[in-house]
Chains A and B, each alone.
Chain A
Amino acid sequence: MTASDEVLSVEEFRVRAAQAGLVLEEGEVDVMYEGYLGLQGLLARLPQGSAFADEPASVFMASATRVAR
């Protein structure tokens, strides 16, 4: 799945969860799917279409961002 993938249906979500090792009780599927849908709103804000040469992610170090006074 990538940031631009289609949103999963509840059945597809159940399968994906099982593939991830999650054993969801019947009542939990609806709650988790609701969370999954909420997560899509956050994912929609991620950058899309980064070029291959864009800076890769790395461990964050605050010292690298220091601005001299």
Chain B
Amino acid sequence: MSRPYHLTIAEAGTNLRDGAITSAALTEAYLDRIATIDRELNCFITLLAEEAREAALEADREIAAGRWKGPLHGVPIGLKDIYATAGVRTTCHSHLLENNVPTEDAETVARLKAAGAIIIGKLATHEFAFGGPSFDLPWPPARNPWNPDHVPAGSSSGSGAAVSAGLCAGAMGSDTGGSIRSPAGVCGIAGFKPTYGLLSRRGIYPLSWTQDHAGPMARTVEDCALMMQALAGYDPLDPGSVETAVPDFVGALGRSVRGLRIGLVRSWHEGVADAEVCDAIEQAAGLLRQEGAEVRDVTLPDIADFHACGRIIILSEAWTIHRDAVTATPEKYGEFFRNRVRLGASLNADHYIEAQRMRRRLTAETMAAMEDCDILLAANQYGPAERFEDSQRPFPFFSKPYLTMPFNITGQPALTVPAGFGVNGLPFGIQFAGRPFEDDVVLQVGHTYEHARGDFDFRPPV
């Protein structure tokens, strides 16, 4: 099999189950590719080559013995380096935790391992999922495989770049204001932020307790669904975890969207986003209509209100998390993270409380708007990835509002799917969001769009 690193998780899983490829061969193909091209992309902070080889051999033995665990069994997966891994350093891409070796896996990592996934390495991130892209950290920032002069966005930068470049079949990211969906969009892959509470965050270094979400990043929506099936479930040791039935994410992919009501959110992007982005959203609406969905305009609160609310909450909570270390040892942080997190010292309890009040109002208004629609269709970004030299701003969140922030505020599930290319030839995505705990419906609609859209070649030229 030539270039097995281009297989989707679904394809790899089927081939592994049927004995058409071994996990050892698949893992070696990824390791070879990493050795060849990651010097330019800087996706990996810690490569777990020997551990992955051993795990792959064990997976092959289990599959050969008839103990196939499912579609992730024997498939190499990468982890954003804020996910705790037992016995393996977890750095958060920071000097501060350069030698941090946890004793336990994050709950999501344990679930991936239980599903038979091969953990191939720890991936670059913006420092503590907040400060980057930075050049004053122990490891360089990840680069966009579509053009290394451009950023892969963040903060799950290494995860987005690595999946896009074929350095792992899927990866875990985290999303506090869009950190799964932004890199997914600019790297031309799918990224899913599940409903708040559906995936455990235990063992993932926090940035903002009430806005942090764990989630999968993969080449297709189907692959995200396969990962979700292994990841989702109640964790009594995560205070944000919700005890609820886990949907059949994979089964939902086969359902028709006929009769589903899609709310098109125009006000967030029209007149602001690139023409290619606006066109892609209109095309997506048309394709879903052809598939039998009803598409109608929907009015949601001002995107700037979501952005302000989310940013104040993040700054407040991040300051609480990092205050002691950043005041005692500021030199152990990169400049971007240090300055951004210290901005939280300017906020007081009443700001935080008013932001949480605002959050309640924004969530109620969004839910009210969704009484007439099942899914929201919105822009994911204003255009393709920016160049590195344009990304070196101390406080990037004072420019345009983040289009991904609303669903961190409301906790709704939100999915980014590749949708086209900008004038510079770099990809961008569009966003689908659903009601809380209707993650299966979001994946269903995203999968339908992905297939209706046609077979774009979303593989970068590396």
Q: Which residues of A contact B (CB under 8 A)?
A: 1-3, 13, 16-17, 20-23, 28, 31-32, 34-36, 38-39, 41-43, 45-48, 50, 54-63, 65-67, 69
- Alpha-carbon distance A13/B345, docked complex (angstroms): 11
Contact A39 B327 (CB under 8 A): no
Taking A3-B351, A47-B358 as given, write out 15 further A-B residue pairs in contact, using a Cβ cutoff of 8 Å, ordered by the A residue number.
A23-B327, A31-B394, A36-B343, A36-B346, A39-B346, A42-B307, A46-B308, A46-B309, A47-B361, A56-B353, A61-B196, A65-B436, A66-B437, A67-B435, A69-B374
Q: Is B380 an interface position by the 8 A CB rule?
A: no
Q: Is B420 an interface position by the 8 A CB rule?
A: no
Question: What is the minimal beta-carbon distance from A32 to any residue of chain B, in angstroms?
Answer: 6
Interface size on B, residues (CB 8 A): 55
Q: Is B62 an interface position by the 8 A CB rule?
A: no
Question: In the complex, which residues of chain B have a beta carbon less than 8 angstroms from the beta carbon of A46?
Answer: 308-309, 312, 351, 354-355, 358
Instruction: Tell me whether A34 and B395 are in contact in the complex, defined as CB-CB below 8 angstroms, given that A47-B358, A69-B435 are known contacts.
Output: yes
Contact B350 A32 (CB under 8 A): no
Question: In the complex, which residues of chain A have a beta carbon less than 8 angstroms from the beta carbon of B330?
Answer: 23
Partner of B348, one of A2, A38, A65, A67: A2
Most chain A CB within 10 A, of B357, B364, B412, is at B357
Contact B394 A34 (CB under 8 A): yes
Closest CB pairs A-B (n = 6) = A57-B356, A62-B411, A38-B398, A20-B345, A42-B308, A45-B308
Closest residue of A by beta carbon distance from B394: A31
- Alpha-carbon distance A28/B363, docked complex (angstroms): 37
- Alpha-carbon distance A45/B398, docked complex (angstroms): 13
Question: In the complex, which residues of chain B have a beta carbon less than 8 angstroms from the beta carbon of A58?
Answer: 356
Question: What is the minimal beta-carbon distance from B43 to any residue of chain A, in angstroms?
Answer: 30
User: In the complex, which residues 328-352 of chain B have their Cβ closer than 8 Å to any Cβ of chain A?
Assistant: 330, 339-340, 342-343, 345-348, 350-352
Q: Is B392 an interface position by the 8 A CB rule?
A: no
User: In the complex, which residues 380-406 of chain B have their Cβ closer than 8 Å to any Cβ of chain A?
Assistant: 394-395, 398
Contact B367 A65 (CB under 8 A): yes
- Alpha-carbon distance A35/B197, docked complex (angstroms): 32
Name 5 A/B residue pairs within 8 A (Cβ), A-sorted: A20-B345, A43-B351, A46-B355, A57-B355, A60-B210
Partner of A28, one of B196, B339, B356, B398: B339
Contact B242 A62 (CB under 8 A): yes
Most chain B CB within 10 A, of A22, A38, A45, A63, is at A45
Contact A60 B357 (CB under 8 A): no
Contact A35 B210 (CB under 8 A): no
Contact B339 A31 (CB under 8 A): yes
Q: Mark B417-443, 1 if CB is under 8 A from A, else 0.
A: 000000000000000000111100000
Contact A63 B244 (CB under 8 A): yes
